[in-house]
Amino acid sequence: MNRATVLGILMVLAVAALAIAPFMGMIDVPLSALWGAAEERGQVDVLWKLRIPRVCLAFLAGSALATAGMAFQAMFRNPLATPFTLGVSSGASLGAAICIHMGWTFSLLRFSGVSLFAFVGAMVSILLVYGLTRARQGFSTATMLLAGVAISFFFSSLILFLQYISDFTRTHRMLRWVMGGLNRAVDFDDVLGVFPFVVTGCLIVVYLTHEMNLITTGEELAASRGVEVNRTKLVLFFAASLMVGAVVAVCGPIGFVGLMAPHICRLLIGPEHRWLTPAVVLFGGAFLVLCDTVARTVIRGTELPVGIVTALLGGPFFLWLLVGRKAEF
């Protein structure tokens, strides 16, 4: 299969996922609810106020996490890098945990307090990683990774500490938050809040596809061929971290998509980022929509955290691809 065909198929899958997923769920919704002509008013509300925003958010989150994972894997030349490698998710989780521990319930600009705290936490960790890397001159990749991992561990300990001293209900809420998911009352405000971050982030990553290709072959080689390596890394870092921060603030840290979606797409379409990036955006989005649909329909009457489904569905699929083709890593 050539690359254009693969991209075409992914496009069709993404559109299909977006079109079909809103009609799947515990309550049957007829197609006519789309234009408000359903028999029961409730069906229209379920479709427009719950399912469509949720599917949109799932798509945006999946795209953002997968694209950020791809950018970090290229930037660090490390196939194990994820959007959370640099501590964005632990920062967000700590923010959320603080808000839950204190029992603050408020909302600002129609975002919940937990989301806002999570977003602030993500920003703090991004700035800390940047500051620490900057303090040692040269903006080296190794320093950045170490700073990110160290901050990640530090924040994780603080989260454990908060969980330990909180009462049972709050500890449970914290644990539940860290599992990630799209089952908080999602509405169009969440979608609109995340949208600008994800679109800007993805556009910046698309703009830097040539540079990512070159950086994966080695930073010095890239510089010798005219890439402004440090500037590129800095822009990629902020673009990817900001969109991940925004997504995590609303959805919590959803695992697996950011690590595996880029690898699955590499197996399907190759490592050339001009083809890989659109594939990752489409696949990441469609994959998370699929997983979320499974998560809310597989067990009647309850919803699984989507993070469980992503790894359960994606893991075997990835292994199947890996064994089926002579993969190169």
Partner 1 sequence: MTLIRLDNFSFQLGDKPILCDVSFDVSEGEYVAIVGPNGAGKTTLIKCIDRLLFGGTGSIEICGRPLHQYRQKELARLISYVPQADGRVFPFTVEQFVLMGRYPYLSPFSAVSKEDRRAVDEALQRTGTAEFAGRLLSTLSGGERQKVYVAAALAQGGKIMLLDEPTTFLDYRHQAEISALLSRINRSSGVTIVAVTHDVNQAALRSDRIVALRDGRVAFCGLARQIMDPDVLQEIYGTTLLLVDHPQADLPVIVPHAPEGSS
Residues that bind partner 1 in the complex, under the rule CB under 8 A:
77, 207-210, 213-214, 216-218, 220-221, 223-228, 266, 270-272, 328-329
Residue whose structure tokens are 């993805």: 202
**Residue whose CB is less far from partner 1, 173 or 266:** 266
Is residue 90 within 8 Å of residue 60, measured between CB atoms?
A: no
Is residue 75 within 8 Å of residue 255, measured between CB atoms?
A: no
**Residue whose CB is less far from partner 1, 106 or 207:** 207
Work out how close the CB of 58 gets to partner 1 at its nearest, in angstroms, rounded to a whole number.
29
Work out how close the CB of 218 gets to partner 1 at its nearest, in angstroms, rounded to a whole number.
6
Work out how close the CB of 136 gets to partner 1 at its nearest, in angstroms, rounded to a whole number.
11
**Residue whose CB is less far from partner 1, 149 or 223:** 223
Work out how close the CB of 274 gets to partner 1 at its nearest, in angstroms, rounded to a whole number.
9
Work out how close the CB of 139 gets to partner 1 at its nearest, in angstroms, rounded to a whole number.
11
**Residue whose CB is less far from partner 1, 168 or 329:** 329
Phi and psi at 103, nearest 5°, equal 75, 25
What's the DSSP call for residue 26? S
CA distance 82 to 121: 18
Farthest CA pair distance, the chain = 66
CA distance 272 to 312: 28
Amino acid letter, residue 94:
L
Is residue 180 within 8 Å of residue 288, measured between CB atoms?
A: no
Task: Give the closest residue to 64 by CA, choosing from 25, 117, 122.
Answer: 122
Task: Give the closest residue to 86 by CA, choosing from 25, 146, 132.
Answer: 146
**Residue whose CB is less far from partner 1, 300 or 326:** 326
Work out how close the CB of 24 gets to partner 1 at its nearest, in angstroms, rounded to a whole number.
37
CA distance 35 to 247: 29
* Residues 6+ positions from 216 with CB-CB distance below 8 Å: 74, 77, 271
**Residue whose CB is less far from partner 1, 190 or 211:** 211
Bridge partners for 111 per DSSP: 108
Work out how close the CB of 225 gets to partner 1 at its nearest, in angstroms, rounded to a whole number.
5
**Residue whose CB is less far from partner 1, 107 or 224:** 224
